Structure 1
């Protein structure tokens, strides 16, 4: 076990190569760094790409954070309604993010190869797949979403509020359908600040309109939870229009260049789907598992369910610091693979990145500690049982960021190298063989507290840890592209 820890963690921290001592002939052929290669991206390069990604993702998740904060004064019932609605919404957004992540990787590879046709094909094929998948998910939501919420809601009023919020929030999905495609195109080409600016434009719209409609200010009707959804929907439409303007002004020549990577749009889309399907399946599985677990959380007491509803957006926001760092790493790995960079140079780059990863994990743990100490001030109107449940999550929050951040680096690196099926298998196994069954056991059969249920997030990351790091250490991902 000590040898494995050295291989998976200590080597990157010490700047030593990640690959095995006895590498295959394919690895040996490219094991010596070519002196004519361009300089490798440094930590500052990754940081300059990562921080707009982090802020962009925080602001995107901030849609739910803003709504949660604004409606918290309406009581635990409103929070429970939002928790039910966001369980369905996470499935819709998860599908969008899945296909968009695949597009981002393909754009990064096209950028590294300096191929405008591949850039154009990745963008349009990603948009086509995003549109089809989003429409199918929305149709499914409008067909059975109300019944699902009504079944799991504690009271008819909670169900009615959740359904109203969900129906209005579908406009956000329509706006993000295009916004995510454009954002991932800019991210893959290294221009992560443009999606960041799009949120700076829309945040005032979201907060201002939501406050007015939630509380009925300035003569407007008092819509409560529905008002928060309307503000989010308006902000999503503004963001979509802003990003459409940016791409038409800056990259019109590229996205309308003649030709396709596979002769036609249809053939290019099919190839894009084949490459993206394992990534999409990974995120879709994760989204379905999250929805199912959230619906199971609703079977706990209202106070415990409200506590989990409150903590989850904070986990997503703070986790974006690590996720965006890993995402930026994946973008650079994709570009380096597109440039046919040697294996030793790739190892050198990842070793630099990993040293920063653990510092970020420590920062996230500190943020969770500060936030937990501030919950009494942030959510001063909560019941004592809800505040006690929030406090019980702290031990897990202080540990969770370390395995989660390292797993994120592995996942994005493997995807950038085309090893998407292996990543999918790890996620599917950890979700459906570990977290979901144990959640059912803890809630429906053992009736354990929210603290025990919440600890399953850490258990899932610990299960994934050796599987991810063994694959990175093997070096196979360098030859799958």
Structure 2
């Protein structure tokens, strides 16, 4: 890539699709780390599922923070890729990597120091707390590996090479599943680790994925070792600029992950069967929802590239209008997947308590409606971030979460003692709260005039 402005072909919905489907598979497999762990321990009973749910709330918070900063790095790199500046690509990658490693290290230290007390306060029984603690301590190895892998994936996504991160999961997923099952049950002479064996299997898979991505990064881009200099003449000024750009984006995703984790902790006040139903359905909500989210994310990457090229007029409008209409097709597909998951629940989880199964059945109407406002909001949010409206997007997310969803969850469970179905409906209500704020801002068009060049 030269230092001159990069001329990319006019993007279409096919361009978005070619970028989005590998990103969808990658995101499914990232969420699938916890889903696979939950599935392989389901045979150990509701207590094991509850331990996974408690530990998973903390694990997802750490993964969410890493994904947040990686997302900011991805937008920064997409703008640099559109402008054709290799020094911008180098600066964006290494600044993003430094941030992710720092966040992972700090998170691991906090978990080791205070995680045990938190899990003890959330678990229903001492045995559940002990299993959750063992799982989370081993899962820290996954956090460290994913800190690097997510930045590498963001780099490839920003360059339009979304298949490489997907391939990394194709390589690591079978290893993850096989190692998890073997370590949980002590097969083949391996130690029988129980719940923590699932985390150990995930750590092995994540390490393999990271090694593959690092090899591809060096093979295709030479790790930018031959590119001299940094943006703003030195690393630390470049790092400060990257951090200032990243913080509002990261704060948005961190707030979403943190609020979801807080809600999950509140869910623990439900009875064990209803809590188990929430633990089982939430990963599927995230997994199927990644289809729509990846379409929105790919749309945002292309918008960032177009802005990096200086295209802010009719070509940008035509692309965005077409991509936004196609997003509703992906929303319908997500709703169909939710229906299929609901239909096969008795096959996936044959040994569930009747109350757990009844609670899962009552979630269906909400699942069928949720994808449509969520997908439209996602397209708006990713477009606004690509245009520099990062602070505004942050405010929409933070206030809808902390002034609406979290308090409403606490009131429903801790005050009114409502069932899990009412609590689950807040996912849909939150999207409806965000809808006017996102769409009015997008239609005003001020985001197209922002100076976001790297």
Would the TM-score normalized by the shorter structure come out above 0.5? yes
Deviation at 1:340, TM superposition (A): 0.6
Whole-Å separation in 2 of the counterparts to 1:120 and 1:329: 23
Alignment match of 2:35 (pick from 52, 65, 70): 65
- Map 1:127-166; keep pairs closer than 5 Å: 127-166=97-136
- Map 1:38-117; keep pairs closer than 5 Å: 39-117=9-87
Whole-Å separation in 2 of the counterparts to 1:305 and 1:359: 32
Alignment partner of 1:221: what SS?
Answer: coil
Whole-Å separation in 1 of the counterparts to 2:225 and 2:284: 37
| 8 Å CA contact 2:387, 2:448 repeated in 1 | yes
TM-score of the pair, normalised by structure 2: 0.97
For the pair 1:230 / 2:230, whether they are aligned, the reply is no
| 8 Å CA contact 1:123, 1:255 repeated in 2 | no
C-alpha distance after superposition, 1:95-117 (max 9, x if no partner): 10111001100110011001100
C-alpha distance after superposition, 1:148-173 (max 9, x if no partner): 11001100000000000000000000
> After the TM superposition, which segments of 4 or more aligned residues of structure 1 sit over 6 Å from their partners?
none
- Do the aligned partners of residues 384 and 254 (structure 1) sit closer, same or farther apart at CA in structure 2, a change above 3 Å counting? same
Deviation at 1:199, TM superposition (A): 0.6
Question: What residue ranges of structure 1 are gaps of 5+ in the alignment?
Answer: 1-36
The aligned residue for residue 417 of structure 1 is 387
| 8 Å CA contact 1:104, 1:188 repeated in 2 | yes
| 8 Å CA contact 1:205, 1:231 repeated in 2 | yes
Alignment partner of 2:42: what SS?
Answer: helix
C-alpha distance after superposition, 1:18-74 (max 9, x if no partner): xxxxxxxxxxxxxxxxxxx96520111110000000001111111111111111111
For the pair 1:315 / 2:277, whether they are aligned, the reply is no
The aligned residue for residue 357 of structure 2 is 387
The aligned residue for residue 182 of structure 2 is 212
| 8 Å CA contact 1:164, 1:226 repeated in 2 | yes
Alignment partner of 1:251: what SS?
Answer: helix
| Bigger relative CO (Cα 8 Å, ≥ 6 apart) | 1
For the pair 1:358 / 2:328, whether they are aligned, the reply is yes
The aligned residue for residue 33 of structure 1 is none
C-alpha distance after superposition, 1:448-480 (max 9, x if no partner): 000000000001000000100001000011112
The aligned residue for residue 150 of structure 2 is 180
- Map 1:183-262; keep pairs closer than 5 Å: 183-252=153-222, 254=224, 256-262=226-232
Alignment partner of 2:310: what SS?
Answer: coil
For the pair 1:443 / 2:410, whether they are aligned, the reply is no
Alignment partner of 2:232: what SS?
Answer: coil
Whole-Å separation in 1 of the counterparts to 2:94 and 2:441: 32
Whole-Å separation in 2 of the counterparts to 1:334 and 1:221: 49
